[in-house]
């Protein structure tokens, strides 16, 4: 069973938390007098198992969306339709052949991209430092991100690839670790207060899982603090608040239909505006398009076509990814109306429809995969994607530890440390010589794969992919 509703009428709105009696706290701080937010796990024998299934669905679903999205990342919609005529993708043999350009050749076949790498930095930080309050998490994430920028994901010996322009400029600032928010704000100011890319949204979903045992406000505060370590634009913060709030609500059985989505968008926006430490970036000179209408035009988009996801100038805009993720969740909810059973391929069909619109497809699908995965659960993920995911067993092992750390696995919160959860992956940082050798080997690998593909094309054995876009 991948869905559940808390005890009570299934048509009742979820209870609204009392926010007036709560004193002002720092991001991630927990009120010691607050009730246990995990009490809902004991309301029905099946609830705990359902929540665990949804947590796996969220984390693994996002990684699968990221991996499948790489097939069409940065392509226009019409090219996606021509290159991938069958609209079928497989990560197990026979593996779907990927469009052969230099961008895609940088990544290992059947592997996720930087989107999931950065989400894992948050997850690993929490596993390494799970104690509350979570005020340490934003700074620890920033330190891990700086390491990742040069060394990659050391736990898996994955080199960095696909680094966003804004993240790169912020994290390489000499004063970054002294004040990540100040460095991010300075970069935003240099953009004319208009840079609102999707880089913090793509990584935020683990915080929704961590927040299952926190209040909604506490979860939002941590999400905003982590977002602002690289992205100062208020639109980025609002988008992260909405996604982590939805994931938290999906796991807790408080978000089960579209009206709940709309209500959460309203609450997240209101929380942002009412919090001086967050809203200060929006005044006295609000960035272009920071308005309620701009937000809701994306969160209530009627179709993927309406979002123009492959727009060359706007494909990386944070509200594009937010809108794509929320619309994907809405479409799954509509497919699960009581009068008929949803197709067993609902996750696969939804992700495929999304990535076939091109644009920043891996990020759009990473966000959507987290939301839809948290709604449908791990059991709804297609086996021919899940079983072929590189490092999938390692990822699922970390999800198991996450379930224990957040308290969803009863009596399992106190788990032993694993060395690969340290900032250096338990292996130590690479030397300058090792970094140079790694980069040289990566370039050689790309050249060899490109040459092999071109030779295959010349022999007429390929699919003709290389004819579409120059490398």
- Is 459 a domain residue? no
| Nearest alpha carbon to residue 71 among 92, 114, 101, 93 | 101
Which CATH number belongs to the domain containing residue 155 in this structure? 1.10.4080.10
Mean pLDDT within 139-155: 98
Give binding residues as ranges.
113-115, 360, 362-363
The answer to whether the CB of 147 falls within 8 A of the CB of 171 is no
Tell me: pLDDT of 13 over 80: no
- Is 349 a domain residue? yes
- Is 8 a domain residue? no
Give binding residues for Mg(2+) as ranges.
113-115, 360, 362-363
Query: Bigger pLDDT: 143 or 32?
Result: 143
Tell me: pLDDT of 455 over 70: yes
Q: Name which of 60-74, 250-264, 277-291, 402-416 the model is least confident about.
A: 277-291
Mean pLDDT within 376-401: 98
- Is 47 a domain residue? yes
| Residue with tokens 């007036």, as numbered in its chain | 20
Q: What is the percent of the chain with per-residue pLDDT over 90, rounded to a whole number?
A: 75
Count of CB atoms situated within 10 Å of the CB of 459: 8
Q: What is the pLDDT of residue 456?
A: 77
Q: What is the pLDDT of residue 19?
A: 39
Q: What is the pLDDT of residue 471?
A: 36
Q: How much is the mean pLDDT over the chain?
A: 89
Q: What is the pLDDT of residue 466?
A: 41
Residues 6+ apart with CB under 8 A from 155: 120, 124, 420, 421, 425, 426
Residues 6+ apart with CB under 8 A from 74: 103, 315, 358, 359, 360, 361
Helix axes 258-274, 216-227, angle to 10 degrees: 70
Angstrom distance (rounded) from CA 337 to CA 347:
15
Angstrom distance (rounded) from CA 394 to CA 396:
6
Please state the domain count of the chain.
1
Mean pLDDT within 211-240: 97
Q: What are phi and psi of 153, to 5 degrees?
A: -85, 95
The answer to whether the CB of 339 falls within 8 A of the CB of 74 is no
Mean pLDDT within 91-117: 94
Q: What is the pLDDT of residue 362?
A: 98
- Render pLDDT for 261-286 as a digit per residue (tens, 0 to 9): 999 999 999 999 998 777 665 555 55
Tell me: pLDDT of 419 over 60: yes
Mean pLDDT within 106-135: 93
pTM to 2 decimals? 0.89
Q: What is the pLDDT of residue 281?
A: 57
- Is 466 a domain residue? no
Q: What is the pLDDT of residue 338?
A: 72
- Is 434 a domain residue? no
- Is 16 a domain residue? no
Tell me: pLDDT of 66 over 90: yes
Query: Bigger pLDDT: 23 or 124?
Result: 124
Q: Name which of 18-22, 156-160, 276-280, 381-385 the model is least confident about.
A: 18-22
Q: What is the percent of the chain with per-residue pLDDT over 70, rounded to a whole number?
A: 87
Count of CB atoms situated within 10 Å of the CB of 291: 12
| Residue 457's pLDDT band (cuts 50, 70, 90) | confident
> b vs e for 262-278, b when ≥16 Cβ sit within 10 Å of the residue's Cβ?
ebbbebbbebbeebeeb
Q: Name which of 85-94, 123-132, 211-220 the model is least confident about.
A: 123-132
Mean pLDDT within 433-450: 90
Tell me: pLDDT of 17 over 50: no
By residue range, what is the domain housing residue 96? Answer: 40-429
Q: What are phi and psi of 105, to 5 degrees?
A: -70, -10
Angstrom distance (rounded) from CA 259 to CA 11:
11
- Is 10 a domain residue? no
SS3 416: coil
- Render pLDDT for 302-342 as a digit per residue (tens, 0 to 9): 999 999 999 999 999 999 999 999 999 999 999 987 767 67
Q: What is the pLDDT of residue 449?
A: 83
Phi and psi based region of residue 219 (left: phi greater than 0; alpha: psi -120 to 50; beta: remaining): alpha
């Amino acid at each position: 069973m991948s869905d559940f509703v808390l005890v009570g009428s299934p048509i009742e709105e979820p209870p609204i938390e009392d926010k007036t009696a709560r004193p002002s706290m720092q991001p991630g701080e927990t009120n010691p007098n607050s009730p246990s937010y995990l009490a809902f796990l004991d309301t029905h024998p099946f609830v705990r198992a359902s929540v665990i299934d949804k947590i796996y669905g969220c984390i693994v679903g996002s990684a699968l969306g990221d991996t499948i999205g790489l097939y069409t990342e940065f392509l226009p919609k019409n090219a996606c339709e021509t290159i991938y005529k069958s609209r079928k993708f497989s990560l197990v043999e026979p593996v779907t052949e990927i469009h052969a350009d230099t961008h895609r050749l940088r990544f290992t076949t059947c592997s996720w991209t930087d989107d999931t790498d950065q989400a894992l930095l948050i997850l690993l930080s929490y596993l390494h430092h799970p104690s509350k309050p979570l005020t340490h998490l934003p700074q620890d994430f920033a330190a891990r991100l700086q390491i990742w920028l040069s060394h990659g994901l050391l736990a898996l010996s994955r080199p960095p690839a696909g680094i966003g322009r804004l993240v790169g400029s912020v994290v390489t600032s000499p004063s970054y670790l002294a004040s990540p928010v100040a460095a991010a704000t300075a970069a935003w100011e240099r953009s004319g207060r208009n840079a609102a890319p999707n880089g913090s949204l793509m990584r935020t979903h683990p915080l929704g899982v961590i927040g299952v045992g926190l209040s909604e406000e506490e979860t939002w505060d941590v999400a905003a603090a982590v977002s602002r370590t690289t992205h100062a634009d208020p639109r980025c913060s609002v988008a992260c608040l909405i996604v982590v709030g939805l994931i938290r609500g999906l796991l807790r059985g408080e978000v089960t239909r579209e009206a709940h989505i709309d209500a959460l968008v309203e609450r997240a926006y209101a929380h942002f505006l009412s919090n001086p430490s967050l809203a200060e970036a929006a005044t006295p000179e609000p960035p272009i398009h920071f308005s309620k209408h701009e937000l809701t035009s994306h969160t209530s988009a009627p179709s993927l076509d309406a979002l123009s996801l492959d727009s060359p100038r706007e494909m990386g805009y944070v509200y594009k990814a937010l809108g794509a993720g929320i619309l994907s969740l809405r479409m799954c909810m509509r497919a699960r109306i009581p009068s008929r059973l949803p197709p067993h391929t609902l996750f696969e069909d939804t992700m495929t429809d999304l990535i076939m619109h091109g644009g920043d497809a891996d990020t759009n699908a990473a966000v959507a995969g987290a939301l839809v995965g948290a709604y449908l659960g791990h059991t709804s993920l297609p086996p021919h994607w899940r079983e072929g995911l590189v490092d999938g067993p390692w990822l699922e092992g970390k999800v198991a530890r996450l379930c224990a750390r957040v308290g969803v696995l009863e009596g399992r919160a106190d788990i032993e440390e694993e060395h690969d959860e340290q900032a250096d992956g338990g292996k130590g940082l690479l030397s300058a010589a090792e970094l140079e050798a790694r980069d040289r080997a990566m370039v050689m690998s790309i050249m060899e794969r490109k040459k092999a593909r071109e030779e295959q094309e010349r022999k007429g054995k390929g699919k003709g992919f290389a004819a579409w876009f120059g490398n």
